[in-house]
Amino acid sequence: MEGLIFDLKRYAVHDGPGIRLNVFFKGCPLHCLWCHNPEGVAFEPELMLMPNRCARCGDCVRACRYQALSQNGNGQVKADRSRCTLCGDCLQACQREAIEIAGRKMTVEEIATEAEKERVFFEQSGGGVTLTGGEPLAQPAFAEALIDSLKLHGFHVALDTSGYAPAEVFRNLAKKADLVLFDLKIMDETRHKKYTGVSNRIILENFQSLEKLGKPVWVRFPLIPGVNDDENNLEAMASFLCQLRSVEQVNVLPYHKGGLEKIRRLGREGEFAVFEPPSQEKVQSVIDFFARRGFKVKRGG
Amino acid sequence: MNDRIKKLREQSLRARPSISSERARIVTDSYRSPEVQRASVPVQRALVFKALMEKKAIFIDDGELIVGERGPAHKATPTYPEVCCHSLEDLETLDSRPKTSYTVDEETLRLYHEEIIPFWRGRSMRERIFADMRPEWKEAYEAGIFTEFMEQRAPGHTVLGDKIYRKGLLDIINDIKESVDHLDFFNDPEALDKQEELRAMAICAEALITYARRHAELARKMAEGEKDPVRKKELEKIAAVCEWVPAHAPRDFWEALQYYWFVHVGVTTEFNTWDSFNPGRLDQHLYPFYQKGLEDGSLDREKAAELLQALWVKFNNQPAPPKVGVTAEESGTYTDFALINVGGLRPDGRDGANELSYLILDVIEEMRLLQPSSMVQVSAKNPDSLLLRALKIVRTGFGQPSIFNTDAIVQELVRQGKSVEDARKGGSSGCVEAGAFGAEAYILTGYFNIPKVFEITLNNGVDPRTGKKIGLETGDPRNFQTFDELMQAFEKQMRYFIEVKIRGNNVIEKLYAEYLPAPFLSLFIDDCVLKGKDYHDGGARYNTRYIQGVGLGSITDILASVRYNVYDRKVVSMDELLKALSQNFQGYERLRDRFLNKTPKYGNDDDYADELTRLVFEMYFRLIDGRPTVCGGTYRVNLLPTTVHVYFGRVTGATPDGRLAGEPLSEGISPVQGMDRKGPTAVIKSAGKIDHIRTGGTLLNQKFTPQLLADDEGLVKLKDLIRAYFKLMGHHIQFNVVTADTLRDAQKHPEKYRDLIVRVAGYSDYFIDCARELQDEIIRRTEHQGF
C-alpha cells in the first residue's frame, strides 16, 4: 500500500513524547491561511523551486521537455506549473537540488524501514513515530495500514490531526494510535470557516468522541494574532476542553513566518495570508490563561 | 564564587602569556656543572630537576590557598631548550604572531642569544630527531602526510591515578629502596641501568619535597609579617600543608589538592609533556577526604568548592608551552589539555558518581575557565541526573564538559590487555584518548592525513602540490577497472606511509628513552619504580603508542564519490575526474555541484557511504593495531584532530567529494562540515557504525543552537540522544551551543567576545584565539535547528 508523503523528519522533538520520526502526509482538507507547511495542503505532488540554491545555469530549463521552465533576464528560473508533468527530468539535471518535487509515493514498508533506523533513539527516549501533515486522516486506508505496521514493530504512534474527517475514520485511527495530537484552532464556526475553509462542527464532535475512547490527547493551539488570540476564543476553548478528561496538555504554538518561503517555492503566493508573530508577552499571557484553568501548558510542540 | 576566588580568577584572566627564560637558564647552567656532566643520563636529568626545584623563583600571591607555579609569574611560560631550542626568529614569531602569542622580553632574547642558543644549538632533541630521520620520512613530513608529536614536546600523555593519595614521596622513596634491594646484579644485565634510574627517581622525589618546603618557609615568613589575622592563619595553614605534603600522604582535602598541584608543577617543569598532566578521576580520589572533612567538621561544601576553585585558577595560570612550526599548526591553542574526569565507575564496577562529582560540576560551571578542561564519564550505571547536570553546563555555550562513554572506554582498555580494575580506574585525557590512569604511557605520536594519502594514490605516488614523487607507484588509476583495484592501491600507499611513520617513531622513542628519560614522572606512574624503568623506556605497566587518523568523514565522502560517480553511475571518467581535481574544479563547477549535492555522504545514516567509513576504519586498524613499539609497547589507533584538520586541509588539493584545494578536512569522526543533512540521529547512526571499542578514542563534534536546549525537555531529549549513541558504543560526543550569528558577530567584534569559548575538537578554546579559517569552519558546522 502506498501513501503520498512529502517529508520524513528525524530527530523530531516537538511532536509528541521523546525523540520521534515525523511522517508528513500530503494533502489537507483545510486551507488555513497561516499554514506553515503549505506543501502539505495539495493532494498532488508539486514542483518546488529553491532560488537560494540555484546557480542559474539553465540545466533544468534545457532538460524540460514540456517548456514548463524558463529563465528571466537575470537567469532566475520560473515555472509554468500548468505545463509541468512532474516527470522529474529537471531534478535529475539540477546538480544543486534547487528543484524538488514535494510529495512522493511511499509504501508502508519503506516508512517502517526508516522508523527502524531510529529505533535506538525511540527506545531510549520513549519516542516513536508521529503521523502528521497535511492531514493523515485524509489518506485513511494508508494511515491505518501504516499505524498497524508501526504497532507491529513495537513503536509508539502519535496521530497529529486537525480532526476534520468522517467520524468512523477518525475514531478508527485514533483508537489505533497511542496518542492524539489534536490541532484546535478556532471555536467559533463562522470564523473557523473564514480562516480554514471548513466548518469546525465535525472537528469538535470528533474531539468529544475521544473521551469515550479514553485516548490521551495533547491539544495543539496555533496562536495567530488577530485570528484566535481573543478573549472569546480562549474562553470558549477553555470551557470546551474543561469537560474532557483525556486532555493531558495544551501546547501553544506561536505563529511564525517559516511557511512564507515555502509558499514562494511552491509558487502559491496569494493563497495564504501573512500575520505578525505574537509578542513574547502575548504568548506568555495565553500560556498563563490555560495554566490558570488547570491545564498543563507548554510553549511549542 | 567568593571575593577571593573572583580576584584570583580575574587576575588569571588578565595575565598575558609570556616566555620566561628562567628554566632555560637553570637547565643550561646545570648541564654545564661537572657533577651533572659526569653523571649517568637519568641522574643528569634528576640533578637538573633538583636544580630547578631548588632555584626556581617562588611566590605566594595575595589570597592564594593552593601554591606553587611553573613559571616565576602567572602565565610566565618556561622553555625546554634540551627538547626544542627556539631560535631568535622563533621567539620573535612567538611574540608577534596574531594567535596564541607569548610576550618575549629583551632580557630573554639576550639570554637566548648569548647563552641558551650557543649551548643547545645542535644538541636539542628536536635537532637530533630531524638529523636522524630518513629522506622518505622528511618528504612525507614536509608534504603534510603526518605530523610528529615529539619533535618539540616530550611524550607525556598520561594521567595520575590514586597513588599520591595513598603514598607520600617518603613512602615512594622507600619503595625505590626496596626496588634497589631487589635488583639482581648477577643475572639481570639491566640491573646497573635500573640502579641509575632508581637513584634518579629518588633525587627527584627529594627535590619536590625541597620545593614544597621552600613554600612552607615562605608562607611562614609571610605569616609572621601578616597583619590580617585571617590571612595570617591561612598562611600558617599553607605552611603546615607544604611541610606535610608531598613528603607524606595527605590527611585532608586541602593537603590532597596541594600535593597534586606540586606533582603537576613538577611534571610540567621536568618536561613540556604533551597533554600537561592531570589528576584524572578527581571526584573518586578526593571523595574520602571530602567525607572525612565533613564528618570531623574540618570541611564544608563551601570550603571544598573554594579549594577546588583555587586549583582551577592554578591550571588556568599555566598556558601550553610555546609551540612553533607544524606543531603549532596541529595544536594551535593555549590549552594544555588537562581534562578533569567526573563520574564513571569505581574499580569494583559500582556507580562512581558521588556528591563531589556534582560539586566539581558546579565549580566547572562557575569558574568558566579555559583550563582545566572537563569531561563527564557516563556509564549505563550512572544516573541520568549526572548527565543532565553536565548538559546544563553544556547549554550555557561554554563547550565543556564533553561527554564520554565509560562502558566503551572500559571495553577499549580491556581489549588492549588491561585488567578490568585498571580500566575502570581510567578514563580519557587530552582530547579523547582512553588510558589506564596511573599505570599507562599512552603516547600520541602524530596525526595521519588519510585523504592526502588517497590524493597521492590518485597521482600514482606523486604529491600534486609539489610534483615530487614521495609515495609508491601503485599504478595509474585510469587503468583500474574496478573500485576494488583502487582500494588495493590505496591500502598499499597507506601501508607505505604508515611504515615510514612508524620507522621514524621507533627512532624517536629510542632517543627519548636513551637521552631524555623522565625520572620525576616515573615516580608516579606504576610500575616504573617497581621495574626500575623510566616512563620513556617502557617503565609503565601498560605502554601504548597511537597514530591519530584524521579525516575519516572526508575520506568516506571522497571514496563514496569516486565509487558512485566513476564506477557505479559512470557519470564521469577517472581521467576527467583527475583533470577536474587538478583544475581545482575550475570549469567543472557542475561536476563539483554533483559531488557536493547528489552523491552519498557520511553522516546521513546512508549505508552506501557509511560502508566505506567502515572499510577505511578497518584498513587503518589493520595496518597499525598490534604492531610492537621499540620499548615494549603496542601500537593502537584513535581518531581525533585537535586543529590539524585545518593544516592537513591546507596541504591537500581538491578532492572528489567536492572539497576545494586548501579547505579544511573533516575533524575527528564528524561528518564533513555541513554535509550531515538528516539531523543528529543520522550523524550518530553513521558514527556508530565503526567499532569504537577497537580504538583508543574517537571524537564526535555536534553543534546545537541554544534554542533547542532552552527548556528542560530539550535537555532530556539531548540526554537521550547521547544515551542512544552510547548504546551504540560511541566513545565521545561534545557540543557547541551557539548560533552562527553570534559567531559571525564575534568575528566582527572580537573585543566583545573575549569570553566566548567554543568547542574546537577535543577541547575548548577562546573563539577569538582561533585561526580565521577555524572560526569559519566552526560557523559552518551544521546547526541542528529545532524545526
> Which range, of A43-57, B52-66, B338-352, B477-491, averages the lowest pLDDT?
A43-57
- C-alpha cell, B591: 561536476
**Hey, do A2-43+103-299 and A47-100 end up sharing a CATH topology, with the first three levels equal?**
no
- Per-residue pLDDT for A203 more than 50? yes
A19 contacts B605? CB cut-off 8 A: no
Facing A10 at nearest CB: one of B590, B678, B713: B678
Facing A11 at nearest CB: one of B680, B711, B713: B680
Yes or no: say if A135 and A29 are a contact pair by the CB < 8 Å rule: yes
- C-alpha cell, B527: 610500575
- Per-residue pLDDT for B276 more than 80? no
Yes or no: say if A133 and B633 are a contact pair by the CB < 8 Å rule: no
DSSP secondary structure letter of residue B781: S
Phi-psi region of A270 (alpha: psi -120 to 50; beta: other; left: phi over 0): left
Residues of B (173-232) whose Cβ lies below 8 Å from A? none
Instruction: Express each pLDDT in B601-640 by its tens digit.
Output: 999 999 999 999 999 999 999 999 999 999 999 999 999 9
Mean pLDDT (whole number) for B726-739:
90
Contact list, A37 vs chain B (CB under 8 Å)? none
Facing A124 at nearest CB: one of B589, B723, B787: B723
The band of B706, judged by pLDDT with boundaries at 50, 70 and 90, is low
Radius of gyration of chain B (CA): 26
Instruction: Express each pLDDT in A140-168 by its tens digit.
Output: 999 999 999 999 999 999 999 999 999 99
- The answer to whether A280 faces chain B, any CB pair under 8 Å, is no
Mean predicted lDDT score pLDDT of chain B: 94
| Residue recorded with cell 599555566 | B318
Distance CA A88, CA A45 (A): 11
A59 contacts B724? CB cut-off 8 A: no
What H or E segment, with its residue span, contains residue B441?
A: strand B440-449
Query: What SS3 class is residue B337?
Result: coil
Radius of gyration of chain A (CA): 20
Distance CA B135, CA B557 (A): 32
Distance CA B50, CA B211 (A): 9
Instruction: Express each pLDDT in A78-90 by its tens digit.
Output: 999 999 999 999 9
The band of B444, judged by pLDDT with boundaries at 50, 70 and 90, is very high
B724 contacts A124? CB cut-off 8 A: yes
Contact list, A296 vs chain B (CB under 8 Å)? none
> Which range, of A12-16, B268-272, B539-543, B733-737, averages the lowest pLDDT?
B733-737
Q: What is the pTM of this model?
A: 0.94
CA atoms within 13 A on the CB side of B582: 14
Express as a percent the part of chain B with pLDDT over 90.
86
The band of B110, judged by pLDDT with boundaries at 50, 70 and 90, is very high
CA distances from B320 to B231, B272, B316, B507, B703 (A): 32, 8, 10, 26, 26
- Per-residue pLDDT for B235 more than 50? yes
How do strand A179-183 and strand A156-161 relate by DSSP bridges?
parallel
CA distances from B582 to B455, B476, B563, B579 (A): 11, 15, 19, 5
Mean pLDDT (whole number) for B262-274:
96
- The answer to whether A209 faces chain B, any CB pair under 8 Å, is no
B708 contacts A96? CB cut-off 8 A: no
Yes or no: say if B504 and B511 are a contact pair by the CB < 8 Å rule: no
Yes or no: say if A234 and A240 are a contact pair by the CB < 8 Å rule: no
- Write down the pLDDT at residue A99: 96
- C-alpha cell, B30: 646545570
- The answer to whether A95 faces chain B, any CB pair under 8 Å, is yes
- C-alpha cell, A126: 520513549
- Per-residue pLDDT for B711 more than 90? no
Whether B84 is catalytic is no
- The answer to whether B593 faces chain A, any CB pair under 8 Å, is yes
Facing A19 at nearest CB: one of B597, B678, B717: B717
Distance from CA of A123 to the nearest CA of B (A): 8
Distance CA B52, CA B24 (A): 10
- Per-residue pLDDT for B754 more than 70? no
Instruction: Express each pLDDT in A35-75 by its tens digit.
Output: 989 999 999 999 999 887 899 999 999 999 999 999 999 99
The band of A265, judged by pLDDT with boundaries at 50, 70 and 90, is very high
Query: What SS3 class is residue A300?
Result: coil
- Write down the pLDDT at residue B200: 98
Into which CATH architecture does domain A2-43+103-299 fall?
A: Alpha-Beta Barrel (3.20)
- C-alpha cell, B575: 581521467
Domain ranges of chain A: 2-43+103-299, 47-100
Q: What is the ipTM of this complex?
A: 0.95
B590 contacts A11? CB cut-off 8 A: no
- Write down the pLDDT at residue B786: 33
Mean pLDDT (whole number) for B679-705:
92
B685, closest residue in chain A (CA to CA): A117
Whether B473 is catalytic is no
CA distances from A70 to A48, A84, A86, A90, A179 (A): 14, 12, 15, 12, 46
Domain ranges of chain B: 442-699
- Write down the pLDDT at residue B331: 78
Into which CATH architecture does domain A47-100 fall?
A: 2-Layer Sandwich (3.30)
Distance CA B455, CA B656 (A): 9
CA distances from B538 to B390, B440, B515, B580 (A): 37, 9, 14, 49
- Write down the pLDDT at residue B327: 81
Mean pLDDT (whole number) for A165-188:
98
The band of B784, judged by pLDDT with boundaries at 50, 70 and 90, is very low
- The answer to whether A91 faces chain B, any CB pair under 8 Å, is no
Yes or no: say if A134 and A45 are a contact pair by the CB < 8 Å rule: no
Facing A13 at nearest CB: one of B590, B678, B717: B717
Mean pLDDT (whole number) for B262-280:
94
Distance CA B442, CA B155 (A): 9
- The answer to whether B680 faces chain A, any CB pair under 8 Å, is yes
B714 contacts A18? CB cut-off 8 A: no
Specify which residues B378 forms β-bridges with: B405
